[in-house]
Amino acid sequence: MSSLFRPKHNTLARVSLAIGAAGAVGTLGALMGYARSPYARHMQDPIEQPLQFDHRHHTRDEGIDCRYCHSTVDKSPHAGIPQTQLCLNCHSQVWNKSPLLEPVRQSFFENKPMEWRQVNRVPDFVYFNHAIHVNKGVGCVTCHGRVDQMAAVEKANTLTMGWCLECHRNPGPNLRPVEEVTNMEWQPEGDPVETGRVLAERNEVHTRVSCTTCHR
Amino acid sequence: MSSHEEKPPAASGSVPSPRLRLPVLASAPPPESASQGGARKVWRSIEDKARSSAASLLGEFPPGASELDGVNRRSFIQLLGGTLALAGASGCRKPPEKIVPYVRRPAEVTPGNPLHFATAYALEGYATGLLATSYEGRPTKIEGNPQHPDSLGGAGTFDQSLVLGLYDEDRAKQIRHKGQPVAWITLQATLLDLVKNAPDGGSRIRFLSGPTTSPLVAELRQAIATKLPKAKFTSFSAVADDGAFEGTQLLFGRPLESRYDLAAASVMLSLDADILGSGPGYLKHARQFAARREPGATMNRLYVAEPVYTITGTMADHRKRVRAGDIPALLFAVVSELATRPGFGDLAKLASLAGAAGADKVDRKWAAAVARDLEKNKGKGLVVAGRRQPGYVHAVVAALNFALDNVGKTVSFAEPSLLDPVQGPAPLAKLAEDIAAGQVDVLVMTGYNPVYGAPADLNLGQLIARVPTSIYLGLYEDETASASKTFIPAAHVLESWADARGTDGVITLTQPLIAPLWGGLSETELLAAFLGDSHLGSHGLLKRSWSSKGKLLPGGAGGPFDFESTWEKWLADGFVAGSATEPASGLAVNHDALSASVAQAVSKAPRTEGLEIAFAPDPKVFDGRFANNPWLQELPDPITKATWDNAAYVSQATATALGFETGDVAVLEVRGRTVEAPVMIVPGHANDAITLNLGYGRTSLESIARGIGANAGAVRSSDAFWFERGVKASKSTRSHTFALTQDHWSMSPDGRDIPPPAVTGTLKEIEDHHSAFNEELEGRRGVPTTIQQPWDYSKEQYKWGMAIDLNKCTGCNACVMACQSENNIPVVGKEQVIHGREMHWIRIDRYFSGEVDEAEIVNQPLGCVHCETAPCDYVCPVNATVHSDEGLNEMAYNRCIGTRYCSNNCPYKVRRFNFLDYHPAVPAASQLGMNPDVTVRSRGVMEKCTYCVQRIERTRINTRIEKRAIKDGELQTACEQTCPSEAIVFGSLNDPSSRVSKAHNDERRYDLLHEVGTRPRTAYLVRVRNLNPELA
């Protein structure tokens, strides 16, 4: 009786072992790749809102500063989504009959808040504070991307802990003069490294990387 | 037994054990060295005291702590499998969360930043100034108002628990009239008809309120009296302090309230008075008392005589356990000793009554020593009697204070702020009599639950059912609600406008934080309905009242009175500055009249011997009004460390005599009425006496309060409101399991000897720099020898640290409650507490020392001490607990995988593990009260004190935006903020001028478990007893 396994089976065994190992590594790699992909991070995924609010129009065409609507960004942990009344500051006069703005008028007259869908979200155990970042010269665009070019707002950065720490370990490249924080197009003049160093000193930036800086 | 047998059985019959013993502190023989202080052995429970050093007590995780209830490991894995399968089915993308902005944002609200409003809570009529924190309109935390001139910035457990009480889903939500829901507007018409059709000037209408000092209520009462001149107003409180007012009535011919200034008192004698732990003004008293506890020439001395340990008793320098009924005898012993001294001739007449009062039966030596000490500190002493004591005792105490020249210095008398000073059993018995005689047609009850609080002999519940129209305004569908025909849900303190006076008479305003959640009404709105004014609401009523009266107040007098701006200022402050009332002047004691009436009272006082039962307001639920508050129910009692229960407290000797052990259920019989109560042996209790706390054994519809504990009211009589003798106690066949936390979190779970964690010394030992005590203390601080190179934190901007002064801590639990509220700490329930799973981040270890029945107490609050070389750090496999650059021991919840290694390795046992997911059980309404700055922890996560890191970070951010450093005292942890006696200080140790740095350099400083080498950031300052040399 011939043996059950022939010499060729050695090769087969080796190849299947290699395929198995490669498969395991590949699966792991694929999963890690997936976790880092824009899809898994919910990036490049414009969120449809209950109202077709267009940032392009308001910031570029009308030149409204971010802080007109997001008015608590420099004094509160939350940037603040505008109250309905704020929309009507203008829209009681401008486009006050537009059917597009019906949800706003409805909210105002029925005293029912608008329900916006969150775009940039950090987990509940992360206590991000807008005020300190804005007051130390981190621009809106640094984290939120070119909102002035988005028809519907989408997440522009991964917002992972690694991404946060990158800046907290070396804040210089992301700093700008405090008065330029809402400028979407600001670029450092001259040597960016030196500019960052000077700004960090002027704005008294002391980034921290202890857990409780964000997790409490 | 012959004498030689008493020698130790020497097996070899030769030399004693040759083994050398190491000089371990705790193994020093305790009784002889008891007065030596530092080496004195301390114990937490009678079992703890009795155990041999090798025997194991409750481990860190006691039996059952790690088991899922009713689920073993195998079935748990089965469950786990099922859960995973279900989890897979729902593994789709999470829908985006909603952001819901305001429609119209109120101008003062910045979403994400809390607002603080000054408000007040009047528990026994007297207001405590409070600050309420509100996030976007949701009150989340109550703290003391530091600017309030009367309560001085502390807040007690009851005040802080209001936040949870507000959101209680059990609160009544519907007005009902004869079983049918009815609208308020309809009821208003009915009430107006009542007034219109009332015969004989309203002589058949009665109003029964709780204790109140409210000027607005006084005004409404007057207005009602003009319409119904014969209607009667009465107050009732189940914990009424009638004795004090009857005493002043006896002495001065009119009831006056007593005010104490502990800041001016060097020697104090408390006769059954818990001045530091409960009753009006206790927050102020605690702060004033603690301020005089610094060792040195100005340090005060406190003598306490009481039947059962109270918070005041734990602070005593000398404590005498005396039955409530023997307190008069002790008082007369003091009086008769003083009467023999020159200059105290006035007291001779009172002293002649000493024999009749039984002064020979008490410890005359103790009383004499106290008397001489009081004499030495003439004008700087203070004698106080408690609410259990009858009027004549209060009268004699007042006369004593007059004789000692203390009046006007440490004690003063003033016209009472309470609208009805006497509010105990007497006026209620009169009302009951009237109802029984059919003289009452309308009864309007606005005070807390009179049916439950009334003594059993009045049968108030049955009587009220007989009244044709009975109206009750209450927070809950309680015992009184079910007896009343009409029930109106009350608005919570945080939902309504009100005013009240502080103990010094200062007018304090209560402003609401939120509109009534379930449409409750305030007391003033109900009273105004009788005048047709209730449409004004409590706000309108209050403003109307003060806009006319305000002119008369300081700030309003002279010049044009701008009410609106003055009002805004009052609301912002929370009180009307300068509105305190002056004490009465020109008072004198007529000794002839006094001794005549005291002689009469003494002769009438019951002379019965036998077992005594005394009642007390409960430190957790007070008179029952907080019984539905889980925070309070789970708060360990300051003395017994019992949660979720009351018990019949007895001394060891009495328990032995009666054949009881802790956990037996006793049947207590008083005048034929019985109550079943579990027995608990409490160190330091008077013999032949039982103490039963009020507020338990509820039968109402409150889901948490119902069915817990024993109802003391069932054996209470109106003529023996506070104590009574001749109780029969027999053993029932049942037994009871207490949820006691006293042996949980032992720092020597394996029974090894550790140096006493809480250290007490005498003033003499502390002041003598070369005393053995100080030398030993020296060995418990400083840099420990260690092989590790400690991290250098001195270059950091801040180095956070804490110091707790055991000499100031009264063990009142305010810090535990503050921590619970600030840090979203869950309540776990009685069963879980029995398993050792309570979650409080800060616990108060209450240590006894000495013999059981004569035990002394020292309290030690203990949260995470933030060791610089923390044993928990090394063992965490996932780096969930690490150190910050400033030395905080941080806990990253989202990293924690729940191995519990850190807790195993923690020598202080301050880490708490979420064995179950305790938060899904929190009702939706209570979730509104959570602090949004703190993560809500889930199952399988370890947690512990963070030094309120959310407050550190918020303050850091605010100050960094302003480009400045955090000032000392600007940043307070929750426990520090609330502490009535300022025992806790927090700050940066890198700032040599900070309060915490000074405390760390104090000569009384020591480190807990210093020998372990953990370099804790929380330091302790030893407790000092200022002993009277005559008694030492």
Q: What is the DSSP letter of A56?
A: I
Whether A77 and chain B come into contact, CB under 8 Å, resolves to yes
Q: How far does the CA of residue B801 sit from the closest CA of chain A (Å)?
A: 16
* Cβ-based contacts of B965 with chain A (< 8 Å): none
Best A212, A213, A215 residue to mutate vs chain B (most B CBs within 10 Å): A212
How many residues appear in chain B?
1032
pLDDT, position B408 = 93
CA distance B936 to B135: 16
User: Do B35 and B721 contact (CB within 8 A), yes or no?
Assistant: no
* DSSP letter string, A116-135: EEPSS---TT----HHHHHH
* Cβ-based contacts of A127 with chain B (< 8 Å): 933, 950, 953
User: Do B126 and B259 contact (CB within 8 A), yes or no?
Assistant: no
Are B99 and A75 a contacting pair at CB < 8 A?
no
CA distance A61 to B1: 107
| Surface of A (169-208) touching B: CB under 8 A | 204, 206, 208
CA distance B255 to B245: 5
Residue extents of the structural domains in chain A: 1-36, 72-79+119-216
Q: How far does the CA of residue A20 sit from the closest CA of chain B (Å)?
A: 25
H or E, element range at A143 = helix A140-144
User: Do B272 and B385 contact (CB within 8 A), yes or no?
Assistant: yes
Cβ burial A176-196 (10 Å sphere, 16+ → b, else e):
bbbeebbebeeebeeeeeebb
Best B105, B873, B879, B895 residue to mutate vs chain A (most A CBs within 10 Å): B105
CA distance B923 to B925: 5
Residue carrying structure tokens 């392009």:
A56
Burial class, A4, CB count within 10 angstroms (exposed 0-12 / middle 13-18 / buried 19+): exposed
Q: Collect the ranges in chain B with pLDDT lower than 70.
A: 1-39, 51-95, 552-560
CA distance B901 to B917: 20
Set out the domains of chain B in order of their start, with CATH numbers.
Answer: 176-240+420-496+512-547 (3.40.50.740), 257-414 (3.40.228.10), 606-740 (2.40.40.20), 760-1025 (3.30.70.20)
pLDDT, position B11 = 39
Whether B950 and chain A come into contact, CB under 8 Å, resolves to yes
* Cβ-based contacts of A161 with chain B (< 8 Å): none
Q: How far does the CA of residue A204 sit from the closest CA of chain B (Å)?
A: 7
Residue in chain A closest to B957 (alpha carbons) equals A132
Are B101 and A208 a contacting pair at CB < 8 A?
no
Are B963 and A117 a contacting pair at CB < 8 A?
no
Best A84, A121, A211 residue to mutate vs chain B (most B CBs within 10 Å): A211
Residue pLDDT, tens place only, A28-60: 999 999 988 888 888 888 888 888 899 999 998
Whether B581 and chain A come into contact, CB under 8 Å, resolves to no
Strand pairing partners for B259? B412
Q: What is the DSSP letter of B724?
A: E
Q: How far does the CA of residue B181 sit from the closest CA of chain A (Å)?
A: 29
Residue in chain B closest to A45 (alpha carbons) equals B96
H or E, element range at B728 = strand B728-735
**What is the number of other CB atoms lying within 10 angstroms of the CB of residue B898?**
15
The amino acid at residue B61 is F
* Cβ-based contacts of B892 with chain A (< 8 Å): 211, 215
Q: How far does the CA of residue A89 sit from the closest CA of chain B (Å)?
A: 11
CA distances in angstroms from B857 to A20, A215, B248, B271, B311, listed in the order given: 69, 39, 34, 18, 10
Cross-chain CB nearest to A117 (options B93, B98, B102): B98
Whether A85 and chain B come into contact, CB under 8 Å, resolves to yes
Q: Is B821 helix (H, G, I), strand (E, B) or coil?
A: helix
* Cβ-based contacts of A121 with chain B (< 8 Å): 96-97
Nearest CA to A54 out of A114, A101, A110, A94 is that of: A101
Name the pairing type of β-strands B942-943 and B912-913: antiparallel
Are A211 and B961 a contacting pair at CB < 8 A?
no
The amino acid at residue B4 is H
User: Do B249 and B284 contact (CB within 8 A), yes or no?
Assistant: no
pLDDT, position B560 = 63
Residue in chain B closest to A205 (alpha carbons) equals B960
Burial class, B435, CB count within 10 angstroms (exposed 0-12 / middle 13-18 / buried 19+): buried
Q: Compute the 3-state secondary structure of chain A and give helix, strand, coil in percent, each to the nearest 5.
A: 50, 5, 50
Whether B111 and chain A come into contact, CB under 8 Å, resolves to yes
Burial class, B792, CB count within 10 angstroms (exposed 0-12 / middle 13-18 / buried 19+): exposed
CA distance B671 to B676: 15
pLDDT, position B391 = 93
Please calculate the CA angle B223-B228-B230 and round it to the nearest 5 degrees. Answer: 120
Cross-chain CB nearest to B101 (options A113, A117, A129): A113
Are A118 and B98 a contacting pair at CB < 8 A?
yes
Cross-chain CB nearest to A113 (options B100, B894, B936): B100
* Cβ-based contacts of A136 with chain B (< 8 Å): 960
Are B103 and A121 a contacting pair at CB < 8 A?
no
Rg (C-alpha) for chain A, rounded Å, is 25
Name the pairing type of β-strands B1023-1025 and B760-762: parallel
Q: Which two tokens stand for residue B101?
A: 């902005």
Are A115 and B894 a contacting pair at CB < 8 A?
no
Residue in chain A closest to B890 (alpha carbons) equals A212
Residue carrying structure tokens 């957790």:
B620
**What is the number of other CB atoms lying within 10 angstroms of the CB of residue B209?**
26
Residue in chain B closest to A129 (alpha carbons) equals B957
Best B135, B872, B960, B966 residue to mutate vs chain A (most A CBs within 10 Å): B960
Which stretches does DSSP call E strand in B249-332?
257-260, 267-271, 301-306, 318-321
Question: Which residues, in sequence order, are CB contacts of A204 under 8 Å at separation 6+?
Answer: A136, B960, B963
CA distance B518 to B513: 14
Cross-chain CB nearest to A115 (options B98, B105, B960): B98
pLDDT, position B89 = 45
Are B96 and A135 a contacting pair at CB < 8 A?
no
Write down the pTM of the prediction: 0.90
* Cβ-based contacts of A118 with chain B (< 8 Å): 96-99
Nearest CA to B709 out of B650, B644, B788 is that of: B644
Whether A64 and chain B come into contact, CB under 8 Å, resolves to no
Which ipTM did the prediction report?
A: 0.90
* Cβ-based contacts of B793 with chain A (< 8 Å): none
Residue in chain B closest to A74 (alpha carbons) equals B961
Are B935 and A123 a contacting pair at CB < 8 A?
no
pLDDT, position B6 = 40
Please state the separation of Cα B113 from the chain's center in Å: 30
pLDDT, position B629 = 93
Cβ burial B365-375 (10 Å sphere, 16+ → b, else e):
ebbbbbbbbbb
Cross-chain CB nearest to A124 (options B886, B935, B952): B935
User: Do B130 and B117 contact (CB within 8 A), yes or no?
Assistant: no
Whether B98 and chain A come into contact, CB under 8 Å, resolves to yes
* Cβ-based contacts of A213 with chain B (< 8 Å): 884, 953
| Region label for B279, one of left (φ > 0), alpha (ψ between -120 and 50) or beta (otherwise) | left
CA distance B816 to B31: 32
Return the half-sphere exposure (C-beta side, CA atoms, 13 A cut-off) of residue B27. 10
Whether B886 and chain A come into contact, CB under 8 Å, resolves to yes
* DSSP letter string, B400-429: HHHHTT-BTTTEEEE--SSSSS--SHHHHH
Q: How far does the CA of residue A12 sit from the closest CA of chain B (Å)?
A: 35
Return the half-sphere exposure (C-beta side, CA atoms, 13 A cut-off) of residue B539. 10
Question: Which residues, in sequence order, are CB contacts of B456 under 8 Å at separation 6+?
Answer: B673, B713, B714, B715, B716, B717
Are B103 and A211 a contacting pair at CB < 8 A?
no
Whether A216 and chain B come into contact, CB under 8 Å, resolves to yes
Residue carrying structure tokens 């023999």:
B340
Whether A107 and chain B come into contact, CB under 8 Å, resolves to yes
User: Do B636 and B656 contact (CB within 8 A), yes or no?
Assistant: no
Quick one: three-class SS letters along B658-685?
HCCCCCEEEEEEECCEEEEEEEEECCCC
Are A117 and B97 a contacting pair at CB < 8 A?
yes
Q: What is the DSSP letter of B368?
A: H
CA distance A167 to A158: 13
Are A76 and B888 a contacting pair at CB < 8 A?
no
Residue pLDDT, tens place only, A138-163: 999 999 999 999 989 999 999 999 99
CA distances in angstroms from B717 to B164, B428, B453, B646, listed in the order given: 33, 12, 11, 20
